[in-house]
Chain A
Amino acid sequence: MKLPRGRLDKSRVVTDLRDTLADVLDRELTGYAVFESQETLLLDGEGRGVITFTDGVPVLAYHTGTDRGGPPALADLAVPGPYHVSLYALDAADLESAHGAGELQVPPGMPAERLGGDPALADSTRRAAPDERLSAMGDGDAAVPGDGTAEQSAVEAFLDDAEKIEAIKQQARSEARERAQEWDF
């Protein structure tokens, strides 16, 4: 995915991507976000995730580590935070050619569901999306408000990845041990 660099709007560490997605929607940002998990040691979370937005509504998702786009890129990004997030603002015209790449598209509410874990935010994102974005995505991908089937299978797919979950647990344990010394309990 090729994008002009744009104007840096915000750059910071966040623990909950929900807050970033809510902020982008609230401010109707047009541009893109770059996400980098701070805890990529044991997880194959290396690389960065990129999500583009038009008026605060997600359009494309891409992961540089796995070179996957669309919903699979969101699965690659779904590792525990904190994350370093940078937001860049662009003119709508600068996104036009990138947004033509249909295979990288995600349903508008899907990042809020899968990265933000907030179905209510997903609902408001879908409400803010233009009609053609909702109908274009077809059935079964949670583009339809209230259709939780696709979301549930994404959760189940995550839970079927025993290796990834073991890595999350192992990472948490080693972090907990390190912190115990740092915090001097």
Chain B
Amino acid sequence: MVEVFAVASGKGGTGKTTSTVALGMALSDRYDVTVVDADTGMANLLFHAGLSDAETTLHDVLADDAPVEAATYDRFGLTVVPCGTSLDGFRDADPDRLRDVVATLAKDTDIILLDSPPALDSRTAVLPIVLADRIVVVLQPTIPAISDGLKVQEYATTYDTDVAGLLFNKVRESESIEQVSEKTERYFDGPTLASVPESERAREARRAGRPLLAHAPECEAASAYREAAESLTVRNGAAADAADRFQSAVIPESL
């Protein structure tokens, strides 16, 4: 059984990487979870997961210089596939190999979370959304973040990828998020999974190079991620055909 989620938002800085790692750790209580830094042009998951000195990364795998197994690391109860940050690494990477990477990882895990690029302007940027079964849309309660999030959803559903739910992040105390999230849900195909408060702990965790749920597991933001994980019902894909599914994931014929 495997389900692949792309953690996405049209906008940078909304907290996709923070959320990928936090949601992954929260889900790892119940599932075997693999997180992949699929933001191959501006990778930074490695800095959130204490892997800044990782020798082999997704870039090497996408350049066909290493097998996937060489770029997987067991950290914080997760299987982590970090990506390198060099421009050369990005240039030499063949983004299409991500299909094989996902297919290979899918054989041996329950959930794959793809930390996705904050853009929809290239084939590489959109591929994680195409490959995923569902997306988790990370939103801040701002007009640009919500309208970019709508765009991501429409791309996803056009490409036959469903919406698992919304994560509001960096919610300030002054905001009563209920009204905004209720109105936002009218336009999205998935429910609000949780509202994560703006939290100094999250920034500290990033500076310490540790996941939020390892750095401050008791803080409000961390419990919001656990709440999100609980409200996510993971669907059982058939393990047997998983590899096939991702190698051949394409845009539906009807287009």
Chain A residues with a Cβ under 8 A of chain B: 15-18, 78-80, 82, 113-119, 146-149, 151-152, 154-156, 158-160, 162, 165, 168-169, 172-173, 175-177, 179-181, 183, 185
With A159-B184, A180-B159 already in contact, the answer to whether A116 and B154 are too (CB < 8 A) is no
Number of interface residues of B (CB under 8 A): 43
Flag whether B233 is at the interface (Cβ < 8 A).
no
Which residues of A are found within 8 Å of B10, using beta-carbon distances? 80
Which residues of B are found within 8 Å of A114, using beta-carbon distances? 142-144
Flag whether B180 is at the interface (Cβ < 8 A).
yes
With A118-B13, A155-B141, A155-B180 already in contact, the answer to whether A180 and B154 are too (CB < 8 A) is no
Interchain CA distance A103-B174 in the complex, whole Å:
27
Kindly identify which residue among B121, B143, B154 contacts A173, using a CB–CB cutoff of 8 Å: B154
Contact present for B146 and A158 (CB under 8 Å):
yes
Chain B residues with a Cβ under 8 A of chain A: 10-13, 118-123, 126, 130, 140-148, 150-151, 153-155, 157-159, 170, 172, 174-176, 179-180, 183-184, 186-187, 250-251, 255
- Number of A-B residue pairs at CB separation under 8 A: 117
Interchain CA distance A132-B170 in the complex, whole Å:
30
Interchain CA distance A5-B139 in the complex, whole Å:
38
Contact present for A181 and B255 (CB under 8 Å):
yes
Interchain CA distance A80-B119 in the complex, whole Å:
12
10 contacts between A and B (CB under 8 A): A18-B144, A82-B121, A115-B143, A117-B143, A118-B142, A148-B175, A149-B174, A156-B180, A159-B186, A160-B183
Contact present for A168 and B144 (CB under 8 Å):
no
Which residues of B are found within 8 Å of A158, using beta-carbon distances? 143, 146-147
Q: 14 new A-B pairs (CB below 8 Å) besides A117-B145, A168-B151?
A: A78-B144, A114-B144, A115-B143, A116-B144, A146-B174, A155-B143, A155-B146, A156-B180, A172-B151, A176-B154, A176-B159, A179-B126, A183-B122, A183-B123
Which residues of A are found within 8 Å of B175, using beta-carbon distances? 148, 151-152
How far, in Å, is A61 (CB) from chain B's closest CB?
14
| Closest partner residue, chain B, to A146 (CB atom) | B174
Which residues of B are found within 8 Å of A175, using beta-carbon distances? 155
How far, in Å, is B40 (CB) from chain A's closest CB?
16
Contact present for B148 and A80 (CB under 8 Å):
yes
Interchain CA distance A98-B162 in the complex, whole Å:
49
With A173-B154, A179-B126 already in contact, the answer to whether A159 and B159 are too (CB < 8 A) is no
- Which of B120, B153, B176 has the most C-beta atoms of chain A within 10 angstroms of its own C-beta? B120
Contact present for A152 and B154 (CB under 8 Å):
no
| Closest partner residue, chain B, to A112 (CB atom) | B142
Which residues of A are found within 8 Å of B184, using beta-carbon distances? 159
Which residues of B are found within 8 Å of A159, using beta-carbon distances? 146, 180, 183-184, 186-187
With A78-B144, A80-B147, A117-B11 already in contact, the answer to whether A152 and B180 are too (CB < 8 A) is yes
Contact present for A180 and B180 (CB under 8 Å):
no
- Which of A15, A148, A172, A180 has the most C-beta atoms of chain B within 10 angstroms of its own C-beta? A172
| Pairs of residues from A and B, 9 with the lowest C-beta to C-beta distance, nearest first | A148-B174, A117-B144, A117-B142, A172-B154, A159-B183, A176-B158, A183-B123, A172-B151, A180-B251
| Closest partner residue, chain B, to A177 (CB atom) | B255
Kindly identify which residue among A15, A162, A185 contacts B123, using a CB–CB cutoff of 8 Å: A185
| Closest partner residue, chain A, to B124 (CB atom) | A183
Contact present for A185 and B151 (CB under 8 Å):
no
Interchain CA distance A67-B186 in the complex, whole Å:
30
How far, in Å, is A182 (CB) from chain B's closest CB?
9
Contact present for B151 and A154 (CB under 8 Å):
no
Interchain CA distance A185-B161 in the complex, whole Å:
14
